Structure 1
Amino acid sequence: MNLGNAVFPVTDGYSMPAEYDIHDGTLMIWPERPGSWGKNKDDARKAFCEIFSQIVKCEKLYVLVSENEINNAREMIYEACGAYKDNVNIIPMETDDSWARDVGPTFVRGPKGNIRGIDWEFNAWGGEVDGLYASWDKDDAVAKKFCEAINIDVYDAHPFVLEGGSIHCDGEGTVMVTESCLLSKGRNPKLSKEEIEQKLKDYLGAKKVLWLPFGIYNDETNEHVDNVCAFTAPGEVVLAWTDNKEDPQYEMSLRDLEYLESVTDARGRHLKIHKLYVPDTPVTCTQEDIDNYIFEEGEDEREPGERLAASYANFYFTNTAVLVPQFGGVNEESDKRAVETLSKICKNRKVIPIASRAILLGGGNIHCITQQIPAPVSNMMRKIVNFE
């Protein structure tokens, strides 16, 4: 059922659970777009399949695939998931790209534990102002279609433009965003900061919104929050960091740190902030990478030597694990450091490194291609399983 844009979850008592709350499953989209994944998509699909294989060990996996690719995709996905392939649900659906976090629904949970989706308007990260491709109609239709496919009611939030990667939630009334993204001219230019904040509170059932100044340097999404800072527990975050004052990321992260140190969350807690260092050596596009892309007219293009928005904060919680980006090459030590840092913080989950440079070449990372579907769990059951 489409609940329309006159109804908000907050009026129904619904709110967004944290990503580290219990999942029913994860939504992903098979990589096909040659402007993101290249004419040879082997590396990207290998990375996606590794993520599939980890998710299905502890929750359901939903993968959207175009009709043309469905037979090939099914074979590769089932092979990757092996003994857990019964947890795989492949759904035929046309999309423009594979950023499930941004085009899929954001899910909220009601007082009785039931789940609903939110269908934000998607305009390719900036529409006519600075959008990354010329046509995005298929992507904008994904959220509603997916909710219909899994028989979940959906709130229509159009024409409010938002991507899932631009919000992080602690599950206790706090939402975290970046000013650089949500106040960008290509999203909701007719709304004030206060009006945007109220929309977030209305749709997500939030009590407080934290506005970080910046995201990751050269992030083409206008600096999504999920690439720079993430909740790891109520009152606790990791922040992408560098000690290199010559790196443009230094001032951006410093401003974020100063802001986070100055605020409290929705429950009045001062935040515990962990520094999660970015790769010591910037990850850049090679000529070989550029030669593999096939860009459409109006699509944002890359150049040799272009710095990519590499960050370990773009990890994903499954029910039992934390899937962490790894960039390899000269950054092997940086990769290990990130795993060690998150292992100390996320003690109730196994931290699993995922080689993900091929995903980064598409423009995002592990968190960007995944979208959690919360379990329809009552408050009493959540207490029993120690999620509260």
Structure 2
Amino acid sequence: MSLPQASGFAMPPEWAPHQRTFIVWPIDDTTWPDELDEVRQAYARVAQAIARFEPVTMVVLPELVEEAARICGPSVDILPMEYDDSWIRDSGPTFLKNAAGELAGVNWQFNAWGNKFPSELDNLVAPQLLDHFGIRRFDAPFVLEGGSIHVDGEGTLLTTEECLLNKNRNPHMTREELDAQVRQYLGVEKIIWLKKGLCGDHTDGHVDNVACFARPGVVLLQVCSDPEDPNYAISRENLEILRQAVDAKGRSLEIIPIEQPPALYHKGVRMAASYINFYFVNGGIILPIFGGECAETDRQAEAILARVFPDRTIVPIESRIILTGGGNIHCATQQMPK
């Protein structure tokens, strides 16, 4: 079977119009032993916020359908399915589109961020979703998570070496092999390799906490101004890589820095708190904020996004409770293009 790029398919940028958003209802009481009810309320708030802009489908365990429907309300569609965890950015399909507007999806291999958690059911979520919606499927023979990639829609992809080249993902593949495979499955010509993700990120440095395209040629980068913080060296190195990079069209990149929130901890462990983990919706942006000691950086992040995206409504959502599970709003969502 021919690969997506050879078949004329490519991943659209996240800001391209969406048909709908997928989210998965939280069930993991090992991640959230005491917080599960609160986390579900937060997921419902995210789903309701997105539903102001576009249709939302919440994937829910069959036995929890009534409860999820009650908490989420009538604006959110419910789709019963079995799964392990609630991070559909990584376990779900990555959608592609061709010049005729036809959709396809990549079914990546998913091993729960290097076999850190059970993933047998999560690895079946993408094919089930694609089959349910009757969308053409490309089965990728290697491990990749949606949170580890961002595209500009014009041939350029951002990722991190820490995640994509990690031996707990594809130990049998070299960087050159992975580079070629990723380009073929996502229809991109150029990969910009950042080094590391944030300190405390158990996904091994997903790029969706570090940097993303605002539009072709423009990158938002979370930075750290405290030399004592481990993220200081990480963000400096990534900034330097981006300054020297050119995209698939040969452009130098405009880099817009966003200061990270103050260090946040959960049960004594540093969390990967990021404003870059926002989610584009049709006509808006759903922005994770953290409240409390983060009020000032929350305000700054919202102001920067309002300036960068004057045509979009910025919707800040207090999501520190979601972050305690290791991810945030971008990790919990997956867009299906129009």
Shared fold (TM-score, shorter chain, > 0.5): yes
Deviations 1:200-247 (A, max 9, x none): 110001010110011111211000000000111111111010111111
Q: Which has the higher helix share?
A: 1
Deviations 1:149-169 (A, max 9, x none): 1111111113x0000000000
**SS class of match (1:195):** helix
Contact 2:50 2:286 survives alignment (8 Å): no
Partner residue of 2:54? 59
Distance 1:171 1:35 in 2: 38
Partner residue of 2:327? 364
Q: Does 1:103 pair with 2:91? A: yes
Match of 1:146 among 99, 120, 129: 129
Letter in 2 for 1:93: M
Deviations 1:232-264 (A, max 9, x none): 111111101011111110000000000000011
Partner residue of 1:295? none
Partner residue of 2:264? 283
**SS class of match (1:231):** strand
Distance 1:167 1:344 in 2: 24
Superposed counterparts of 1:1-388, under 5 Å:
6-78=1-73, 85=75, 88-127=76-115, 132-133=116-117, 135-158=118-141, 160-279=142-261, 281-285=262-266, 304-375=267-338
Distance 1:218 1:36 in 2: 15
Contact 1:7 1:155 survives alignment (8 Å): no
The CA deviation at 1:89 is 2.5
Q: TM-score under structure 1 normalisation?
A: 0.85
Q: Which has the higher strand share?
A: 2
The CA deviation at 1:140 is 0.3
Distance 1:197 1:143 in 2: 22
**SS class of match (1:126):** helix
The CA deviation at 1:68 is 1.4
Distance 1:283 1:40 in 2: 17
Distance 1:347 1:21 in 2: 16
Unaligned runs of 5+ in 2: none
Contact 2:12 2:96 survives alignment (8 Å): yes
**SS class of match (2:288):** strand
Aligned-pair Cα RMSD in Å: 1.0
Distance 2:35 2:213 in 1: 35
Deviates more, 1:38-47 or 1:361-370: 38-47
| % identity of equivalent residues | 42
Deviations 1:79-128 (A, max 9, x none): xxx5xx2xx3311101100001000000000120011110000001012x
Distance 2:33 2:153 in 1: 37
Deviations 1:45-77 (A, max 9, x none): 121111111211221111110011111011111
The CA deviation at 1:189 is 1.0
Unaligned runs of 5+ in 1: 1-5, 286-303, 376-388
Letter in 1 for 2:109: E
Distance 2:9 2:181 in 1: 14
**SS class of match (2:178):** helix
Distance 2:274 2:193 in 1: 19
Contact 1:339 1:353 survives alignment (8 Å): yes
Distance 1:340 1:245 in 2: 24
Deviations 1:264-318 (A, max 9, x none): 1111111110001111x21111xxxxxxxxxxxxxxxxxx321101111110000
Deviates more, 1:205-214 or 1:44-53: 44-53
**SS class of match (2:71):** helix
Contact 2:41 2:71 survives alignment (8 Å): no
Distance 2:305 2:296 in 1: 14
The CA deviation at 1:40 is 3.9
Distance 1:232 1:357 in 2: 24
Q: TM-score under structure 2 normalisation?
A: 0.98
Contact 2:96 2:104 survives alignment (8 Å): yes
Contact 1:52 1:61 survives alignment (8 Å): yes
* Count of residue correspondences: 338
The CA deviation at 1:41 is 1.7
